[in-house]
Chains A and B, each alone.
Chain A
Amino acid sequence: MAHELQLPLSVIGPADVVRLRRSLEQFNDQEQQAALRTKSGATADQGQAGRILHELATANKRDIGVATDRQALLTELEALLKTAPKITMSFAVEPSAAFMTKIVGWFRTSIHPMVLIRVGLQPNIAAGCTVQTGGKVYDFSLRSKFTEQRAMLIERLHTPRVVAPSAAPVTQEVAT
């Protein structure tokens, strides 16, 4: 079942899962072709995606060199894409991988272990982020904060400006 799959934190969103599945399929194909050509059990080149694939296999105690484990992982990834809860998070700038790792870690620890996060960009939110879960949107942006604090801003606008008296020049006596 998909819920039994352990997702590494480097797998963030559905796009990563799709990429992972494609890599696994390619790797599977390469393994089969290599077995047919050499029958020597030579392993295929895993490439860049292989690192995450390896992490996934390690986390789930699978051996990607074994065809049944690869097939099981493929099945679990398919199920994950269909059943995993998906969240969309938008930021003003593109977040770094380390940043997203922390965010994903929190979500999988606190909300759901299979959650997948789509990352979007909304430059107009200035700071903070927005989170969309299903049909609900949580706005943690600076704009939202300003809107919440509008009453305070208006109150400050209507408060008469008090001009502080000019400070007297500071004189220091030199100790003799």
Chain B
Amino acid sequence: MMIALAAAGLIIVIAVIVLIVSVAHHRAPKQSPHEKLEAQAKSSAENIFDDQFREELRNRGRLHFEKIIGENAMFLQQDLRLTTSQLNEYMKTEITKKLQDEFTKYEQSIMDAKQLAVDSIQKTNIVIEEQRKTLSAQLNSQLEAEKAGLIGRFEEDMADIINHYVLAAVGNQIDLSDQLEYIMGELEANKQAMSEDIKNGA
């Protein structure tokens, strides 16, 4: 951008010089060709390029230069705005893209973590369920064993239990006289065995 401005300024300066030269050429008096030319050149140069003219040229050049500079500044400003706008747009696009990428990665990471957590929870649930089933089976087995043991012990000692119950309930009300018939019947039933036992024992 700066190079273009410098080239434009240089072209303008060259054009001004060419213009000055052509004006001076037209104002020169007609003598002998060579002398005239020299004399005219001297006088013209002195007359034409006096301080006022130079100042005028300088002012014109300055004004023109300022104008060009102003125009170029305007162009530069426009370019700068455009560039800034493009830069903003670019930055916006890039940042958005970058953010989207990051968000996508972040979302993916979250999804992965979530999936990992879900898998872990599912595995934990499966393990817990298996342990629950195992525990339940063991508990049932132990309960069954305990139940069977209790029933077994109850059945084993049932005679004693009932006897104890009967004794506690009606033990005081059982009269031996009422049992005489039963006892006699039992003795009669085992008479032979007792006779032999006593005979052998004797």
For A49, what are the chain B residues with a Cβ–Cβ distance below 8 Å? none
Encode contact with A along B166-202: 1 for CB under 8 Å, 0 otherwise.
1100010010110110111011101101110110111
Of the residues A112, A142, A154, contact of B158 by C-beta under 8 Å: A154
Interface residues on B, range: 20 to 34
Of the residues B158, B183, B194, B198, contact of A129 by C-beta under 8 Å: B183
B150 to chain A, nearest CB (A): 13
Provide the bound-state CA to CA distance between A176 and B198, in Å. Answer: 74
A27 sits at the interface (CB 8 A): no
Instruction: Knowing A126-B167, A140-B183, say if A111 contacts B158 (CB, 8 Å).
Output: no
Are A153 and B158 in contact, with the CB atoms below 8 A?
yes
Are B166 and A126 in contact, with the CB atoms below 8 A?
yes
Of the residues B160, B176, B190, contact of A95 by C-beta under 8 Å: B176
B43 sits at the interface (CB 8 A): no
Provide the bound-state CA to CA distance between A144 and B177, in Å. Answer: 20
Of the residues B162, B183, B201, contact of A135 by C-beta under 8 Å: B201
Are A147 and B159 in contact, with the CB atoms below 8 A?
yes
Given A99-B177, A112-B198, 11 more pairs with CB closer than 8 A: A85-B201, A95-B176, A103-B187, A107-B187, A111-B191, A123-B167, A124-B167, A128-B183, A134-B197, A138-B193, A157-B155
List 23 A-B residue pairs with CB atoms under 8 Å apart, sorted by A's residue number.
Answer: A85-B198, A91-B176, A93-B176, A96-B177, A99-B177, A103-B187, A106-B184, A107-B187, A110-B191, A110-B195, A111-B191, A111-B194, A124-B163, A126-B166, A126-B167, A127-B166, A127-B179, A128-B186, A138-B186, A142-B166, A143-B159, A143-B163, A146-B160
